[in-house]
A and B are shown apart, each in its own frame.
Chain A
Amino acid sequence: MKRLPMKLIPLLIAACVVCLALAQKDESAQRKHKPSTYEALAEVPQKARSRTNPFEGNASEATAGGKLFEQHCAECHGPKAGGTRQGPSLLRTEMQQATPGTLFWILTNGVVRQGMPVWSKLPEQERWQIVTFLRSINTHRTTPEIQ
């Protein structure tokens, strides 16, 4: 079978980059027109909402959660969780009212169609540490120092 000429490789790559840029633009546009990213909070099953956080109120776990937030979440949600173009603010009233179980469920399952990936690759305890951090910034509105 005839091989694809090598000189086509850069063209193929350029075509891929254009396609990816268009896909990115399309997804951004879709995100803009979604009624509210926070609606995903309402879709969390009742059983998941009622789960309790084993680290609730633990300052040390909140600090560890802050470190994990900085490593995995800050890129989209901002270093102080105030939101960026890529991800919503986590300091809104909807977040303050969300139960720890709700936050844990969203973190585990993501909101894939709206751009948030699943984070079940982080062990369960690390996800609870992040929830503890998010609860701490929403309770006190003073961010524990991110390492």
Chain B
Amino acid sequence: MAVRLSIPGARLFGRFRFCSFLLLIWLLFSYRSSSAQESPYIVTYDHYLEEPGSLEVEYFSTFGTQRGGNDFHAFWTEFEYGTTAWWTTEFYLDGQTTFSDSTPFTGFRVENRVRLLDREHFVNPVLYVEYEQTSAADKILKEVEGHDAESDFAEPNSALRKEHDHELELKLLLSSTFKGWNVALNPIFTKNLSPSEPWEFAYAVGASHPLALKALPDRCNFCRENFIAGIEMYGGLGDTHSLGLPNTSHYLAPAVAWNLPSDWTFRLSSGFGLNNNSHRLLLRWGISREFSGFGELVRRLFGGHA
């Protein structure tokens, strides 16, 4: 399948992608790692940050149905780094394939999450700040905001990719863990940096629970302790011109995470549209691996001691 990069700098991006691929291969086969305990959420965030010095490399796919257009497969790669125990930073690269159309690179995102309180409380707040530069062809639907609707994605990529967005996104991640349950609520505030654009509002809420609360003495792949099941709901809440539920889209998505002792995590989520503005189905899956000690490696590179 021919992959067509559709924005300027494509050759440079191709080289960058090749270098990233080599780095990934090196990491996968030469690096020590530690087992993660990842939540099943794909859209919602809980208050747990990346362990300091660890790099988590993630790949996610979203298959979406499209009325009035072609179905699509959107994908993103995420590099998540624990700078400190209270600060995590991430970098995303997005792309998508619209069936019977094309495969454009659709943009990048940089995000930071900062833990606001030192200790655990009943509700734990984390501040989330993201800058994104994407084209309107971006279909990863990592957030559904404002008056986002299925019909926005019906046009062909050639038309969508002409429109580019610079957005600042703020979230307050509120999360609570009690008796094995995690409940997370994320109010979302987004501003397109064009002066004429209004603030957009959205929400994501999730609940999850491990299938077993106690570990078995033996190392195992399929034991219940490795699985966490959950459910997410997310959608738009309008904007400053028109606040509320009219003309917004919403999704309900059962999800599951499988944390393997071999350091890999698989996630699966099936999002069902809850109204006529929503895609009927957003089927998502993701794979991730955590690399501990990455920060030490980089630190040594800049003159630190082992």
Contacts and interface: CB of A to CB of B under 8 A. Distances in A.
A24 B83 contact: yes
Interface stretch (B56-64, B66-74, B84-92): B84-92
B298 A21 contact: yes
Nearest to B216: A64
Nearest to A55: B214
Interface in A18-60: 18, 20-25, 27-28, 60
B299 interface: yes
Given A16-B91, A20-B83, A72-B35, A64 B217 contact: yes
Given A64-B216, A117-B52, A120-B177, A71 B35 contact: yes
Nearest to A17: B298
Nearest to B8: A6
Interface in B39-61: 39, 46, 48-49, 51-53
A43 B213 CA distance: 28
B217 A20 contact: no
Nearest to B176: A120
Interface residues of B, number: 62
B301 A21 contact: yes
A147 B219 CA distance: 7
Contacts of A124: 179-180, 213
Contacts of A13: 91
Contacts of A147: 217-219
Given A6-B12, A63-B217, A118 B299 contact: no
Given A20-B81, A74-B34, A110-B85, A5 B302 contact: no
Interface in B153-182: 164, 166, 177, 179-180, 182
Interface residues of A, number: 54
**Main secondary structure on A side of the interface with B:** helix
B7 interface: yes
Contacts of B52: 27, 86, 115, 117
A124 to B, nearest CB: 7
Given A16-B89, A20-B295, A126 B83 contact: no
Given A6-B9, A117-B52, A64 B35 contact: no
B302 A71 contact: no
A121 B37 contact: yes
A130 to B, nearest CB: 9
Contacts of A24: 53, 83, 295-296, 298-299, 304
A27 B83 CA distance: 9
B211 to A, nearest CB: 11
B293 interface: yes
B119 A86 contact: no
Contacts of A72: 34-35, 37
Given A6-B13, A23-B84, A129-B214, A117 B51 contact: yes
A109 interface: yes
Given A24-B83, A28-B304, A129-B214, A9 B13 contact: yes
B133 interface: yes
A60 B214 CA distance: 12
26 contacts: A1-B166, A4-B133, A6-B9, A6-B12, A9-B16, A9-B108, A16-B91, A17-B298, A21-B302, A23-B83, A23-B87, A60-B217, A67-B219, A71-B34, A72-B35, A75-B292, A110-B120, A111-B85, A115-B52, A115-B85, A123-B180, A123-B214, A124-B180, A124-B213, A129-B214, A147-B218
In the A-B complex, the 7 residue pairs with the closest CB atoms:
A6-B9, A71-B35, A123-B213, A63-B217, A125-B214, A75-B292, A109-B119
